Amino acid sequence: MGNSFFYPTRRRVLTGMAGMAGSFALSACANSDEAKKHYDVIVVGAGLSGLYAARLLEAEGASILILESSDRVGGRIYTMDDVPGTPDAGGMEIGQMYARARSVVGELGVALEAFPSSPPGMTIHYEGENTTMADWAEWPSNPLPDNIKAIPPFALMRSAMPRENPLEELDSWLEPAAQAHDIPLSDYLKDLGDSDVIRKMINVSLQGDHAENISALGELRKARVGQFERSNGPSEKVVGGCSRLTDAMAASLTSEIMKNKKVTEIIRNGDQTIVTCGDGSSFSASHVICTTPYSVLKNIKIEPGLPELQRLAINEIPYLPSTVFYFTTSEPFWEEDGLPPTMWTTSILERIFALASNEQPVAVFWGLINGNNSRAFDMMSRAQQEQTILMEMARIRPASAGKITIHKIHSWTAYPHNRGAWSYWKPGQITQFGSIYKNAHQNIHFAGEHTATYAAGIEGAFESGERAVHEILEM
């Protein structure tokens, strides 16, 4: 196998599009009075996968309409342009092996750079006390049993996983032999001597709500992809933030991108597919590429209905609850208390990273709250959230009291266009659903990071958009 990455020849693409172009011409004539346009392809969602699919199709002459529910392009690529240091609230790391992403970056002249170095080290805040990562193993309040005392709390889960990843290839997770690993992630904790202390520690950076509810196979797959992505060196960032990439992709398209168009129905009608939005507007196309996350796709009516197992997968595959927040400080409180500015904590704030810019070693602090703490945060009003950040920071790092300015809080869980950071698998779901996640339904094709087989994250979104385009061309 390997990372399957190929482009169709131009001849093959044009042959594939010929039928669609013909039907477009006919329907445009038939409806010329109303000037109701029929498109070759409607792309639902202007995130990376949708923009990339549109880019590939447009290059081959297809007529395309992109419908986007929010008031911006980019989806989970979202640079906080109004926050000092313009940090990314979503995807930011471009791996060295992100072949498709890097190819588009090059074509559009988007600049990449190394991540500026933040101050070294990490403060560990455990149950009301502080130490540093360097001192953790010898720290008198370290509650771990002697044999694992030296493992930093954020590395506990990783250390419990098999040293040799049983997944040889990037798509091995879909092979029947891999199903033996489709078990609760918590099963691995037994070797660490599972305890409440360990559970509390691993929950801080867990990519889900509980280790019982996460498939170990899904995590092994992520680890396998990560190993591949890091095999050629550290990832890079887009200069000015990752939204510069999606902005450039959108600007390079000639197709219309309609924003504030929340798709609510995709209905097959003869050889046309009618896509209807929440404001009552509707559009027709020969094909639809739907890139919305499952978390919102489950609320889109699709007719004829999807096969039962596919519908079940869409309804049940979970998304990681995640909230991010940003603050700056009037003074460098970390110089006052002598601890590293970046923090791993057992507080509701979980992890707080000091992000550097090219000008400053600490340009802004980025808080990252996942899982149940994100849900708890979402239950608060904005004023309560701000108060919680200020009070918790004053408790964890007393030297920060009175010095913090909060700039932004963004919940991916509450954000109606995503309802979560990314999809993950519950134990048994990979076995139950297999590769159904990417099955086309008649002329409706599914893309988005959740439908990628080989890559994940940003590159997974590109891979999925490319695969959906191939499906259309090969029909």
Strand order in the sheet with 364-370: 129-132, 123-126, 343-345, 351-355, 364-370, 322-329, 404-411
Can you tell me the distance from the alpha carbon of 152 to that of 202, in angstroms, rounded to the nearest whole number? 10
91 near ligand FAD (CB under 6 A): yes
What is the C-alpha separation between 216 and 268, in angstroms, rounded? Answer: 38
Kindly report each contact of residues 374-378 with a partner whose C-beta sits within 8 Å and lies 24 or more positions away, as own/partner.
374/321, 374/322, 374/323, 374/411, 374/413, 375/209, 375/321, 375/413, 376/348, 377/323, 377/348, 377/411, 378/321, 378/323, 378/411, 378/413, 378/414
Binding mask 373-412 for ligand FAD (x = CB under 6 A): ---------------------------------------x
Q: Is 68 in the site for ligand FAD (CB under 6 A)?
A: yes
Q: Closest approach of Cβ 280 to ligand FAD, in Å? A: 14
- Stretch near ligand FAD under the rule CB under 6 A, chosen from 48-56, 106-114, 129-137, 332-340: 48-56
Select the residue interacting with ligand FAD from 17, 42, 44, 355 (CB under 6 A): 44
Nearer to ligand FAD (CB atom), residue 197 or residue 324: 324
Q: Is 461 in the site for ligand FAD (CB under 6 A)?
A: yes
Residue 67 in the binding site for ligand FAD (CB under 6 A): yes
Contacts (CB under 6 A) with ligand FAD, residues 286-305: 291-293, 296, 300
Q: From residue 175, how far is each of 27, 167, 217, 386, 455 by CA, in Å? A: 44, 9, 11, 46, 16
Which residue, 65 or 461, is less far from ligand FAD as judged by CB? 461
Piece in contact with ligand FAD (CB under 6 A), picked from 88-96, 104-112, 203-211, 381-389: 88-96
Q: Which SS3 state, helix, strand or coil, does residue 236 take?
A: strand
CB atoms within 10 A of CB 332: 15
- Angstrom CA distances, 392 to 118, 167, 366, 380, stand at 22, 41, 15, 15
For ligand FAD (CB under 6 A), the number of binding residues is 37
The verdict on 105 binding ligand FAD (CB under 6 A) reads no
Contact status: 444 vs ligand FAD (CB under 6 A): no
322 near ligand FAD, judged by CB under 6 A? yes
**Residues contributing to the site for ligand FAD (CB under 6 A):** 44-50, 67-70, 75-77, 90-93, 262-263, 291-293, 296, 300, 322, 412, 417-418, 421-422, 448-449, 457-458, 460-461
